[in-house]
Amino acid sequence: MKIDVLNLSKWYGQVIGVNNLNFIIEPGVTGFLGPNGAGKTTLLRLLTGQLKPSKGQVAIDGEIVWNNHEILRKVGYCPEMDAFWSYLTGWEFVCSTMRMHGFTNAEAEERSQKAIGTMDMAEAQHKRIGGYSKGMRQRIKMAQAIAHDPDILFLDEPLNGMDPLGRHTTMQLIKQLGQDGKTVVVSSHVLHEVEQMTDTILLINHGRLLAEGNIYEIRRLIDTHPLQVTIRCDNVNVLTAKLLEFDDVMSVQFDRERNQLTVETNRPDDFHLRLPKIALDNGIQIHSLWSPDENLEAVFDYLVR
C-alpha cells in the first residue's frame, strides 16, 4: 500500500507543525529521522487521521485519510505517548483494541494471543499495565499495533525505553514486516536505530523535509561533519598518543581526573573500525564510549547551515 503526501502543512495559530511536505511512501520500511520536536509526531498524527491538514492532503491507496474511519482498518498505530487505561492487563488492553477493530471476541482473543507472543509479553500479559516497566509498556503498545495484521504500520519512537533484547526483537520484527510487503513507517531521533531497520529515510527538522532517500547518501552527508567521540578508559595517555598517529583525528582533549578523552574525527567509520584494535594491541580497557554528536540536533544544525 502506498502513502501519498501532497503539499502537506499543519500549523497551530502562528506555530508551524509541518511545512509543505511532499513525498510518497512505498511498501517496505521507511524511517522518519529527526531530533525531538522536529515534527515527526505531528506528521504521524496527520498520516493516521488524528489531525486535519491545514493545507494539502494525505492519501492511503488514493483515499483521503482525514475523517475516513474505514481506511483505519488497514492501519496499525503505536503512539509515542506512554498512555494507557492502566487498570487493564496487557491482555485486556490488546484484546479490547481488537474488539474496537470489529473482531469477534474469539477472533480478538486469538489475534491478541499471537501478537502478545510475538512481542514476548506472554508471561506478563495478565498483569496490570500500571505495573509494567517502560520497556514492557512499549512492547504491549507494539502488540496492539500489529495484532490485526495491518497493511500499514505507523510506529512513533517504538524503541524508546526498551531493553536491548526488546529492541533487537522489535527491530527484527519491523524488518520482517517490511520484507513481507507491509508499509512500515518508523520515527526515531536515533540514527543508528533507523539504520538497522531500513535504508530509506526521510530527514525532518523544524517541520520541513531536509532530505529523502537512501540512508547511505544521508550518512555520507553526515560523515563529512566531524564527529566527536568521548571514551572513558584505564589508560588515557597511551590511547591519546596512539590515536594522534592517524590523520583523520583532528583533535583530542583529555580529562585525567575522569579518565576520559574526547576525540574529533572526520572519518568516523574508519575511527570506529580502528579503535578496538588499538585497545587490544595496547591492553587498554575501554569502559564506555559515546558520541555527543550522535545527538541529531547537532548533525541537523550542521546539515542546514
Partner 1 sequence: MGFLVGFFLKSGIHSRRTIWMAILSLIPVGCSLILWLVRTLLEREGVSLVSLYPQMSFFLFLHFLLPLMSVFIGAAVIADEVEERTLPYLITRPLPRRNIVLGKLMAGTLTVAFILFVSLALTYTLMMLSEGVTGWASNLKILLQSMGVLILGTMVYLPLFGLLGGILNRPVLAGLLFIFGWESTVGMFPGNAKLFTVVHYLHVLFPRMQQIRLRNAQSALLDMVLPAKQIAPITAILILILMSAIFVGLLSALLYIKEYRLEQS
Query: Using CB under 8 A, which residues numbered 144 to 203 contact partner 1?
Result: 144
Q: Does 67 bind partner 1 (CB under 8 A)?
A: yes
Q: How far is the CB of 33 from partner 1 (least distance, A)?
A: 17
**C-alpha cell of residue 169:** 526483537
Joined grid coordinates for residue 165: 533484547
Least CB distance to partner 1 at residue 154 (A)? 8
Q: What is the DSSP string of 89-147?
A: BHHHHHHHHHHHTT--HHHHHHHHHHHHHHTT-TTTTTSBGGG--HHHHHHHHHHHHHT
Question: Pick from 30, 77, 27: which is nearest to 202 by CA?
Answer: 30
Give the three cell numbers for residue 17: 507543525
| CA–CA separation, 288 and 250 (whole Å) | 21
**Least distance to partner 1, CB of residue 127, Å:** 16
Which of 2, 55, 63, 73 touches partner 1 (CB under 8 A)?
A: 73
* Contact map string, positions 236 to 265, toward partner 1, x by CB under 8 A: ------------------------------
Bridge-based pairing of strands 75-78 and 152-156 is: parallel
Q: Is 133 in the site for partner 1 (CB under 8 A)?
A: no
Q: How far apart are the first and last CA of the chain?
A: 36
Contact yes or no for 188/159 (Cβ under 8 A) = yes
Spatial distance between the Cα atoms of 262 and 221, rounded to a whole number of angstroms: 22
Q: Which stretch binds partner 1 (CB under 8 A): 68-76, 213-221, 265-273, 291-299?
A: 68-76
Site string for partner 1, 272-301 (x = CB under 8 A): ------------------------------
Q: Is residue 77 close enough to count as binding partner 1 by CB under 8 A? A: yes
Given a contact cutoff of 8 angstroms between Cβ atoms, the answer to whether 203 and 33 are in contact is: yes
Q: Smallest distance, Å, CB 189 to partner 1?
A: 13
Question: Which of 30, 41, 112, 187 forms a contact with partner 1 (CB under 8 A)?
Answer: 41
Show the site string, 87-126: x = touches partner 1 by CB under 8 A, - = not.
Answer: x--------xx-xxxx------------------------
Residue closer to partner 1 by CB (options 157, 293) is 157
Nearer to partner 1, 22 or 105 (CB): 105
Helix (H, G, I), strand (E, B) or coil at 275: helix
Question: Are the C-beta atoms of residues 154 and 58 closer than 8 Å to each other?
Answer: no
User: Where do contacts with partner 1 occur on this chain (CB under 8 A)?
Assistant: 12, 41, 45, 48-52, 67, 69-73, 75, 77, 79-85, 87, 96-97, 99-102, 144
